Amino acid sequence: MRILFLVPYPTEGPSNRYRVEQYLPYLEAAGISYRLSPFMDSRYYSVLYKKGKDLLKIIYFFKSSFNRLADVFRVFMYDAVFIHIEAFPIGPPLIEWLFSKIKKPVIFDFEDAIYLPRKNRISNFFKNPSKFFKTVRISRHVLVCNSYLKDFLSAYNPRVTSIPTPINTKIFQPPVQRNYSREKIIIGWIGTHTTLPLLLGLKGVFQRLAQKYRIAVKIVGAGQDVKMEGVEILNEEWTLQGEVESFKSIDIGVYPLPDNEWAKAKTPFKTIQYMSVGMACVVSKAGANADIVKDGVNGFLAETEEEWLEKLSRLIEDGDLRKRIGLSGRKTVEERYSLEAAAPNFLHIIEEVCKRN
């Protein structure tokens, strides 16, 4: 059994790192061979979201396009194709259509609301969000990250399976010792420049907390130095090697999300990551967060500014509460969102698609 994985990013991209790459050792153990083919390499990814370097980006794009074209001819050596998010970043789903015409089964996997139109007309024209539904229709099987997407897409394809984005609990573990009695409490957020505005929406909460408690807000991965008047901010650059330690260094995690279609289509993976290291967290009552968090048991849910303030205050004041919530969250992840729990379902789908073919 041979599978060709087409993914958009190198390992630095969290989407295919967690939705695809962490399953690969399980494929090897099952005797399934594969080729992982990212559209962009690490050099391209390192400049993708930076201002300037337009000529370099163009060169990288054409090089990546040539490599993806090679995959179209290479596909004949494989029993099935696994496409995560998209085979090509712009235009209609021509590659997916070609695979369907040569009867090569496609497993289509994604998370996030990539089907939503872009606000920018030019971006909308090139990204062509409508190709998403065409890809869903021609795919042999579709993998999604939550039950909302499964119900939504069942009208387009009857073979849709929900597998929440899992986490490797052997890598993401609680620290050997966590100080629940220290005076300064670190409230933390780990994200990207695209989700930073959501965190900044809690600015007023942090300022009010800083007037009453000795806290610092740790921001990892924002791509800029964030400042808030009256609040101690610890800005940290995200690195693949230091990701787990960044999570372990936080006392309380926060994960603000909007209550909209974009949030409904996500695995609230940040919540799962916080819980995996035994960290108490306060997260928005939006999307699938309410499916993961039982308020006051393994985490806290918040909607209004007053709720954010009240629940963060409780955790700041009570180290025993942080410990109890954190341990309960870890147990939730081990039972429902671990890689070990998800891998058998992932393997089963790949094997079934290949057998049907």
pLDDT of residue 287: 85
pLDDT at 54 over 90: no
pTM: 0.88
pLDDT at 125 over 70: no
pLDDT tens track for 212-245: 999 999 999 998 999 999 999 999 999 989 999 9
C-alpha to C-alpha distances, 56 to 37, 123, 126, nearest whole angstrom: 21, 19, 19
Share of the chain above pLDDT 70, in %: 98
Q: How confident is the model at residue 254 (pLDDT cuts 50, 70, 90)?
A: very high
Between 130 and 210, name the one with better pLDDT.
Answer: 210
User: Residues with Cβ < 8 Å from 107, sequence gap 6 or more?
Assistant: 80, 81, 82, 83, 139, 140, 141, 142, 143, 349, 350, 353
Report d(CA 219, CA 88) in Å as an integer.
Answer: 32
Q: How confident is the model at residue 150 (pLDDT cuts 50, 70, 90)?
A: very high
Q: How confident is the model at residue 124 (pLDDT cuts 50, 70, 90)?
A: low
pLDDT of residue 59: 92
pLDDT at 126 over 70: no
Q: Which residues pair with 190 in a beta bridge?
A: 220
Q: Is 234 within 8 Å of 218 (Cβ atoms)?
A: yes
pLDDT of residue 122: 66
Where in the chain are all domains bearing CATH 3.40.50.2000? 2-166+339-356, 185-337
Q: Which CATH class is domain 2-166+339-356?
A: alpha beta
pLDDT tens track for 308-346: 999 999 999 999 999 999 999 999 999 999 999 999 999
pLDDT of residue 53: 83
Q: Which CATH class is domain 185-337?
A: alpha beta
